[in-house]
Structure 1
Amino acid sequence: MKQGNIKVALVGNPNAGKSTLFNALTGLRQKTGNFPGVTVEKKSGTFRISGLETQVTLVDLPGTYSIYPKSRDETVVMDILANPAHPDFPDVIVVVVDASNLQRNLLLFTEINDLGIPTVIALNMLDVALSMNLTVSAVQLAMQLGVPVARINARTGEGINHLQEAIKQVFAIKERPAIQYFYQPKGVEIELINEVKHIYNLDNDYVALQYVCQHDNFSFLQQPARTKLDELIEKYSFDEHHFLVSETIARYDKIKPIVSKAVKSAGVTEPPYWTRKLDSILLHRVWGYIIFAMVLLLIFQAIFAWATFLSDFLDASAAQGIEWVKSVLPEGVLNDLITDGILTGIAGIIVFVPQIAILFALVSILEESGYMARVMVIMDKLMRRFGLNGRSVVPLISGVACAVPAIMTTRSISSRYERLLTILVTPLMSCSARLPIYTILIALVVPSTQVLGVFSVQGLVLFGLYFLGLIGALGSAWLLSLFIPRKERSYFMLEMPSYKLPRLGHVGFAMYESVKSFVLEAGKVIMAISIILWVLASYGPGDRMQDAENKVLTEMGAASQEQIDAAVGSARLENSYAGQFGHFIEPVIKPLGYDWKIGIALLASFAAREVFVGTMATIYSISGDSEDVPTVKQRLSQEKNPDTGGQMFTTAVCYSLLMFYVFAMMCMSTIAVVYRETHGWKWPLIQLAYLMALAYASAFAAYQLLS
């Protein structure tokens, strides 16, 4: 038996339950990354099978209806399965099949089977098939297809142990039986296959055919090999389009009698009554949009209604913890670095974990229930007016979590034109990193009163900011579509999943993973920014900081010690490297209502948006202006405007900042992923320029109108 981990690949159609099965098998033993050599996101995890000494590594391949790719994500499937040298090449493939749509799902299985890799079928969604009066026999399927078929329910975990046993049995077979090809080549195809097998040392007919059809997608083939394959195609006059059509027809001719024997119908096969009833409302041309708007409004109401208590508790606890650390550590530079720099910066993001957790949990519920697919359908008609299509909804909604993976999901959009437009406008959707900025600024200037006894004014403002981001995205898409030429027509096709009750375990896991990623990734950036910022704010050119301190001590000799300490801290910060840089950019941001301290936070937040609040907390902690005020919110509310002597964070300043962050480019990571996805600096620079101009103009207008 093979030494080391067993590699199992999970393959299936979209909405067949592949991701749910992946979570059920791996639990918390998961990690995300990229497939080697490409920017496509990779989910992998491990699990144990009773009777096997080694653990199993499970790789979740992108969902696809066929091994012939229609998007960039789907090219990964055959790039791995046609290359035994690939690090993710599997020992066993598990094909997840939707029992309620067996014929279409088996097309992918027959293609995978013909590749010659040991395969197991996970027959999922039997409950959905039963609700459609369909009974599917796993025994009949196994007999006719010649592979193990395990009946499972990925949502409840039923049958998972049988699937694991099937994987173990297939892996343990030492001598593989001859492949029963579902597609038999004919005519010139046979000669072409034989020559390809000879040249590239292949032993599988169908893999040789994929070399012919997909060699331009195979990263493991060098250009000379691709050129040679093009020559062979010309030599044998191979018509790829004609081949794909004839192959699909031939496969369905084989599949139909198999399905007719394995599936028994007890009546009219149509979606369940409640599915039809709900779709008549949720897909309605008027009610569909109203319900979607209400769902979003409820989400943002929940963020304030449910998270306020926990956030306030974490804020106060973090402040007390920092004071305790300050008191137990010896006074000096290290104490200041740890408390005023690192811990204060990190505390500025930890306090917002409840809001982030609620946001991700609610979005996960929408996805698990099947409602998100309905949103894509109703939004398609609206999106097309702005140069996009229904599939653009997924990146835009995903952008509420983070723009980086959201932009990567645009690979599912087949039209290059619509994909580019979606990439360019996705950063306008307010990501979770902006949520700390929104909540702290809204809490400063918006009262927590109720409207109609149900809706919080703060929640309504938060909803308005997200809605404004959506309006900005659609408007920008329309404007950009006037300048970017469309070279092809697009289409929108989507399989509607059945409605399901969300599994609390899966929702909880999605929330845990998202919050963990948010905190850890943000924590790394914040720690780095906090250390750099503390150094820049604690040291200055020459003797400027010491001279400023001496001047304050001379002028305030009769003041209280508390007032002197605050004035010294502020004077030293203003004359530090950070203060000097803040003063350098202050003329540019002054028309927006910002001072040099806010300018420092603005620049720091280009690393990551969530850094803004932590940076402000660090700056005010170092300055000493709010030494007796423990929490982040109170530090900001007590800050004074040096010109007027009044409150710094007035309604005009807060709304100006809100407008700036609604429209500003998200972060450097977003610029990097746009560069990777568009293969150059042209579009990232255009995107950065138009978003910064839009952000500056909006912030300027908000401040001038409200001042």
Structure 2
Amino acid sequence: MVGGGITIDRAASAASAAALEAVAANLPRDHKGLTRIALVGNPNSGKSSLFNQLTGLNQKVGNFPGVTVDRKTGVSQLTPQHRAEIIDLPGTYSLYPKSLDEKVITDLLYDKTSEQYPDFVVVTADASNLRRNLLLFTQLADLGLPAVLALNMMDVAEQHGVHIDVAQLQQELGVPVIPMNARKGIGVAALKIVMAQTLNLPTVSFYQPSEELLPMIRQIRYYFNLHNDYLALHYAHQFRHISFLSADDKAYIQELTEQYDFQPTPRQAQETIDRYARINDILLNTVSVTRTERNEPYSNRLDRVLTHKVWGYLIFFGVLFMLFQAVFAWASYPMELIDQGVTWINQLIQTNFHGPLINLLTEGVLAGLGGVLIFIPQIALLFAFIAVLEETGYMARVTFMMDRIMRKFGLNGKSVVPLISGVACAVPAIMSARTIENWKDRIITIFVTPLMSCSARIPVYTVLIALVVPDQKVLGFFNLQGIALMGLYLLGFFAAILSALALKILLRRKERSYFIMEFPVYRWPRWKNVGITIVEKVKTFVFQAGKVIVAISVILWVLASYGPGNALEQAETKARAVAAEQHLTPAETDNRIASEKLENSYAGLFGRTLEPAIRPLGFDWKVGIALITSFAAREVFVGTISTIYSVGQDADMRTVQQKLAAEKDDQGQPFFTPARAFSLLVFYVFAMQCMSTLAVVYRETKGWKWPMLQLLYMTGLAYVASLTIYQLMK
């Protein structure tokens, strides 16, 4: 069989066919009637690509029960008669966990009574580095789990001169081995066929505990009614960290380990040595390498440049620069189309229908909905770039390079991942900080991550930048608006690392920490995976942030359209008297009435109460309302401004930018000057305006101390920075 650069001999195909014929009955099903299959593998073994191939868009992200680690699940149609629930477990190198992500795997696989326990596992292995990947497989096999080995990246193995005798490897391991290229979908169909069948095949034992440990192991095994010795050994190794064991259970195991003088660390080391000795024997019989060392892999040559101490940072800076330029340049046309579409619908409705409900629909619902839809092109572009960087393997290099900088500012190497993730959203970024073992490192990372400009700030940034920064080229190539956007992101980044340095000094952190990661081989991006990422992120923005924005827009419309007692009637009378005195035109009279009524509405009264505190920043009561509503979600700012400035306006002024540009101050001059716009932009760079982030910080730190300190610090920083910018620029 030949395809996509993968060559598999006929013996391998015959062996795979024989394995398929050897299985007949269907797997046991869960309460939903679905086979539950867990994907397990080393980081960068292609597990996520395989998950996307199997599930497509039929996937969702939640948390594992009791912890804040992502749990990706999806449904796959294996055959016309069989559907399966696929669980994508976090990447791990072994069953001896070093982080919370890895502990989730062991908690799941150790508890056969759990509702989430898989019927069997698919182990993804990088065929070009089979020795390292087989360590995890042998551990899973010794746990007695029915398994399939997905021999992924066969094309990369072939490029490196690695030839694998699949038939012999299948015989050595005692399980079906499916050669594949998950990124291109090669071998997925064969894997689905195998997964649709019973895999209760005899497995080969790869490691036997020493005789001196058997008395302790057997007591643990029979006490907990476990199905094999190796699982009982893992209970002895990790009982302190197994969440489903009771205090009495842990006390029992501790007593046994002390009685038998069980030392976990040397035992783990010896087990690893023994396993690799067995793995080496298997590989000698199944793998041959024809490439000589002089043929240095292409990825290594690229890394010499892309991770260079000087050129690496310049290249990364250039990539970011191009990303932010594209977010403005490429998204402008579809954004204009969306804006014009919402404007046309609004005009059509207001021209043909009248009444309070019509005003609610056009000035409340559609104004808020327009503030959501218009940013879809920019959100899609941002995550398309991020997905491509991840797919190609470049993002791993970025993480490595940034680790050099992070350490100088008191951050753990693993802090780089939350900080980079914070560019998308602070909530999952803060949750990912739980993989940092050191408590102080974790607290510092959680504290500074919200200073990274998340995607929720993009609507605020782009509207205000487009309002006051000219859309023109510098040096004939660079767009000024893109430069301004990148400057805001860099401002948040520098604030984060400087805040981390201050916390390092305050907390007197002295412990050293270590950061280890593996570089994946450079590859062309799998465009299907990029597309899935874009669709999922846009759906999240529209259906999660969008619901909040539209709901708040409706509430704001009500607050802006009604007032206490007869305040609005009095405001209209006053406005008409002034208009008659100043001989205003009918259109000017209507605008004057709308302005007076808005100022005397519930929203106006609320904003007036807040105005004295924010007037030194250049803001008025209308902006104050938007600042408060932004605590629900930062992107609500645009919907709020759109709604506030929609009340009473003509139907021919519907785009957000038109509304902001038309706003006047007390002297009749444009309200949103560069000083006010940049003051507002800087405020949004630093302010902690996200209730969801505060909630997740509370959950991660088990109390209100850190979220309250975070709220006070970031709000104070935002106020001082905004005040400084406005006073200097006005």
- TM normalised by structure 1 equals 0.96
The answer to whether the Cα contact below 8 Å between 2:415 and 2:433 also exists between their aligned partners in 1 is yes
1:68 to 1:300, Cα distance in 2 relative to 1, 3 A: same
Match of 1:601 among 620, 623, 626: 626
- Aligned-pair distance for 1:508? 1.5
Residue by residue, what CA displacement relative to the aligned partner does 1:639-688 show, whole Å, maximum 9, x if unpaired? 011x2221111110000011001111141111111122222222111111
Aligned residue number for residue 267 of structure 1: 291
Aligned residue number for residue 570 of structure 1: 595
For residues 101-120 of structure 1, what are the structure 2 equivalents within 5 Å? 101-120=129-148
Aligned residue number for residue 477 of structure 2: 454
Are residue 134 (structure 1) and residue 162 (structure 2) matched?
yes
Aligned residue number for residue 303 of structure 2: 279
Residue by residue, what CA displacement relative to the aligned partner does 1:314-339 show, whole Å, maximum 9, x if unpaired? 1111111122233455x333222222
For residues 442-521 of structure 1, what are the structure 2 equivalents within 5 Å? 442-486=465-509, 488-521=511-544
The one-letter amino acid of 1:124's match is N
The answer to whether the Cα contact below 8 Å between 1:626 and 1:635 also exists between their aligned partners in 2 is no
1:326 & 1:354 partners in 2: Cα distance? Answer: 27
For residues 37-56 of structure 1, what are the structure 2 equivalents within 5 Å? 37-50=66-79, 53-56=81-84
The answer to whether the Cα contact below 8 Å between 1:131 and 1:272 also exists between their aligned partners in 2 is no
Residue by residue, what CA displacement relative to the aligned partner does 1:418-470 show, whole Å, maximum 9, x if unpaired? 22222211111111111111111011111111011111011111111111111
Are residue 252 (structure 1) and residue 281 (structure 2) matched?
no
The one-letter amino acid of 1:291's match is I
1:116 to 1:144, Cα distance in 2 relative to 1, 3 A: same
Aligned residue number for residue 539 of structure 1: 562
- Aligned-pair distance for 1:84? 2.1
For residues 202-351 of structure 1, what are the structure 2 equivalents within 5 Å? 202-268=226-292, 272-329=296-353, 331-351=354-374
Are residue 398 (structure 1) and residue 421 (structure 2) matched?
yes
The answer to whether the Cα contact below 8 Å between 1:386 and 1:474 also exists between their aligned partners in 2 is yes
**Between 56-65 and 315-324, the greater mean CA deviation after superposition:** 315-324
The answer to whether the Cα contact below 8 Å between 1:132 and 1:272 also exists between their aligned partners in 2 is no
Aligned residue number for residue 423 of structure 1: 446
- Aligned-pair distance for 1:551? 2.0
The one-letter amino acid of 1:413's match is I
Aligned residue number for residue 374 of structure 1: 397
The one-letter amino acid of 1:12's match is G
The answer to whether the Cα contact below 8 Å between 2:160 and 2:297 also exists between their aligned partners in 1 is no
The answer to whether the Cα contact below 8 Å between 1:129 and 1:135 also exists between their aligned partners in 2 is yes
Aligned residue number for residue 92 of structure 1: 120
The answer to whether the Cα contact below 8 Å between 1:30 and 1:45 also exists between their aligned partners in 2 is yes
The one-letter amino acid of 1:198's match is Y
Residue by residue, what CA displacement relative to the aligned partner does 1:175-230 show, whole Å, maximum 9, x if unpaired? x54x5332211234211121112211222222222222222332222222222222
- Aligned-pair distance for 1:389? 3.9
Equivalent residue of 2:86, what SS?
strand
Equivalent residue of 1:556, what SS?
helix
Matched pairs, number = 699
1:206 & 1:262 partners in 2: Cα distance? Answer: 26
Q: Which runs of 5+ in 1 are unaligned?
A: none
How well do the aligned residues superpose, as a CA RMSD in angstroms? 1.7
Aligned residue number for residue 57 of structure 2: 28
Aligned residue number for residue 146 of structure 1: 174
The answer to whether the Cα contact below 8 Å between 1:626 and 1:638 also exists between their aligned partners in 2 is no
2:563 & 2:130 partners in 1: Cα distance? Answer: 70
Aligned residue number for residue 584 of structure 1: 609
2:299 & 2:221 partners in 1: Cα distance? Answer: 49
- Aligned-pair distance for 1:257? 0.6
**Between 31-40 and 459-468, the greater mean CA deviation after superposition:** 31-40
Match of 2:44 among 15, 22, 27: 15
1:666 to 1:18, Cα distance in 2 relative to 1, 3 A: farther
The answer to whether the Cα contact below 8 Å between 2:347 and 2:652 also exists between their aligned partners in 1 is no
Equivalent residue of 1:374, what SS?
helix
2:171 & 2:610 partners in 1: Cα distance? Answer: 74
Counting aligned pairs with the same residue, the percent is: 51
Equivalent residue of 1:598, what SS?
helix
**Between 612-621 and 203-212, the greater mean CA deviation after superposition:** 203-212
1:253 to 1:170, Cα distance in 2 relative to 1, 3 A: farther
Equivalent residue of 1:482, what SS?
helix
Residue by residue, what CA displacement relative to the aligned partner does 1:386-434 show, whole Å, maximum 9, x if unpaired? 0124432222222111111122222333433322222211111111111
Equivalent residue of 1:501, what SS?
coil
1:371 & 1:634 partners in 2: Cα distance? Answer: 40
Aligned residue number for residue 522 of structure 1: 545
2:357 & 2:229 partners in 1: Cα distance? Answer: 67
2:474 & 2:104 partners in 1: Cα distance? Answer: 51
- Aligned-pair distance for 1:236? 2.2
Aligned residue number for residue 707 of structure 2: 684
Match of 1:612 among 637, 648, 660: 637
- Aligned-pair distance for 1:535? 2.3
Are residue 621 (structure 1) and residue 646 (structure 2) matched?
yes
1:219 & 1:692 partners in 2: Cα distance? Answer: 38
The answer to whether the Cα contact below 8 Å between 1:381 and 1:389 also exists between their aligned partners in 2 is no
Are residue 78 (structure 1) and residue 87 (structure 2) matched?
no
Are residue 636 (structure 1) and residue 660 (structure 2) matched?
yes
The answer to whether the Cα contact below 8 Å between 1:567 and 1:625 also exists between their aligned partners in 2 is no
The answer to whether the Cα contact below 8 Å between 1:566 and 1:625 also exists between their aligned partners in 2 is yes
- Aligned-pair distance for 1:627? 5.1
